[in-house]
Structure 1
């Protein structure tokens, strides 16, 4: 068995004295693991770091085996990621999120979102708020891919697409200002940057916190708790640094 594809490094772990097990996200083959012989060498170690895009060739006798990776660098982001606390926590959080997906299950939309998030986080004019907003959108996409879709496009009670300012914590559907007014103490605020009509203004700290509250609730309740897990510690670390005032 053999295939070749580009992949983004999610993590590595030591295997014996000289080798590592490499975890990557690929477009066509999803989250995939493989052994890199000599991966702890001085030459290979800098290449096999989270955030880098690699050209990969995977070989194994049988498809069910762990197999071996041969890797060459395509885009090296790791040094810049490690130099920025927000980007570093963000990379750790993204890696944790991808481990919620079945191994070798393709999710091309999430792969594309990962690449866009990492490139945007490290661009010269990148703002923490933009990276944080992108992470909220990524978590919404992740929920959708895991079968827990949120509907923020129309009011759950009236069907209107206007004045959507709340989210039902039970259904994950948007609620308009008029329909939600009597129950506003039991509803979650829907930040402007997540509303169906959109908002081109950069989200402020309050809106970003509201966005993370929505995705955090549904991730914890519907994805993590059934697996006996809680929200990753690095998620709060990412939110804290991303929302910190410069």
Structure 2
């Protein structure tokens, strides 16, 4: 059993004396693990950093086996962000959130969205809004998409400013006014009619909203919580918005 594909490193952990179990997000094979022999060595450690894009060749005797990877660096990212603490934290958060994707299930649209997100990480004024959109896309891809096109209560398509934490549907100003303390604010940059630059406050609210649904649908059913890096990122951006 074998395949070749390109993938982004999500994580790498030491295994045995000098190996590493590497988790890649690939376009055709989905989230896939494999053993890299010598992966704990000094040279390979820099290659197996989260966010780096690799060319991977996976082999195993049987398809259900862990298998081994032979990898080559295609495009580095982690090293390019060393001077930007917030972007590094966002990279860690994105890698951790992407690990919620079921193993060995191809999600080409999600892979492409992740590629776009990582491609913006060196643009401090761009990646925060893209991060929120990526998480919305992940929820949609896994069957838990939010409907931000019309009011969940009235069907109206105008003046949508809230999101219901229960249904995940948008709510208009008129329908949500009496319950606004229990609703999320809908960031304007997520609406096609208001697409534009996102403020720190809007990004913070967007992360609070997507974090709620990620935890509810993907983590809580497994008795888990949002990854620590994702929680810290939300806190950092919320602090900047104050």
- State the partner residue of 2:198: 203
**Which aligned pairs between 1:1-246 and structure 2 lie closer than 5 A?**
1-122=1-122, 126-127=123-124, 129-200=125-196, 202-242=197-237, 245=240
- TM-superposition CA deviations, 1:127-153 (whole Å, max 9, x none): 2x4222111111111111222110001
Q: Which runs of 4+ in 1 moved over 3 A?
A: 240-246
SS of 1:20's equivalent in the other structure is strand
The alpha carbon displacement at 1:245 in A equals 4.7
Take 2:42 and 2:219, find their aligned partners in 1: how far apart are those partners?
37
CA distance in 2, matches of 1:48, 1:187: 41
Distance 2:178 2:38 in 1: 63
Quote how far apart the aligned CAs of 1:65 are. 0.8
Counterpart CA distance in 2 for 1:185 and 1:51 is 38
* Residue correspondences, number: 241
CA distance in 2, matches of 1:90, 1:51: 11
**C-alpha distance in structure 2 between counterparts of 1:79 and 1:210, whole Å:** 29
Question: Given the two structures, how large is their TM-score scaled by the length of structure 2?
Answer: 0.93
Query: Which runs of no fewer than 5 residues in structure 2 stay unpaired?
Result: none
For 1:213 and 1:228, the matched residues in 2 are separated by 20
TM-score between both structures, scaled by the size of structure 1: 0.91
For 1:196 and 1:174, the matched residues in 2 are separated by: 13
Give the Cα separation in 1 of the matches to 2:78 and 2:49: 6
* Contact residue 96 and residue 230 of structure 2 kept, 8 A: no
Whole-angstrom distance in 2 between the partners of 1:44 and 1:216: 33
Shift in alpha-carbon separation, 1:49–1:139, aligned structure 2, 3 A: same
User: Would the aligned equivalents of 2:203 and 2:237 in 1 still touch at CA under 8 Å?
Assistant: no
- 1:167 to partner: Cα distance: 0.9
Distance 1:59 1:91 in 2: 28
Secondary structure at 2:202 match in 1: helix
Give yes or no for contact 1:8–1:53 (8 Å, CA) kept in 2.
yes
